[in-house]
C-alpha cells in the first residue's frame, strides 16, 4: 500500500487497523477495502468534474454584442 494513499485516507484509520488484534488475512482485506474505496471515490470525483466541465461548455452561451 502506498504511503500517498495512506496519507490521503488518514493514518488514524491505518493505525486502528494495525492496532486491532486480527489475523493477517483479515488485516489485508481491510486495507484492500480502504484502497478500493479510495479508488472508487477518486473516480467518482473525476467523473463529476468532467461532467461539470462539459455542462459549462454546453450551456455557456456567448453574450450578444449590442
Kindly report the number of other CB atoms within 10 A of residue 65's CB atom. 4
pLDDT of residue 43: 93
pLDDT at 10: 66
User: How remote is the C-alpha of 44 from its chain's centroid?
Assistant: 7
Q: Where are the domains of the chain?
A: 3-59
For residue 4, the model assigns a pLDDT of: 66
Residue 56, all three cell numbers:
459549462
Convert the pLDDT of each residue in 3-59 to its tens digit. Answer: 666 666 667 888 888 888 999 999 999 989 988 988 898 899 999 999 988 887 777
Give the pLDDT confidence score for residue 40 in this predicted structure.
Answer: 92
pLDDT of the residue at 18: 84
Amino acid at each position: 500500500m502506498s504511503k500517498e494513499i495512506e496519507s490521503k485516507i488518514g493514518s488514524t484509520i491505518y493505525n486502528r487497523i494495525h492496532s486491532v488484534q486480527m489475523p493477517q488475512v483479515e488485516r489485508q482485506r481491510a486495507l484492500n477495502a480502504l484502497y478500493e474505496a479510495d479508488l472508487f471515490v477518486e473516480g467518482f470525483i473525476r467523473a463529476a468534474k468532467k461532467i461539470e466541465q462539459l455542462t459549462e461548455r454546453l450551456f455557456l452561451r456567448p453574450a450578444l454584442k449590442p
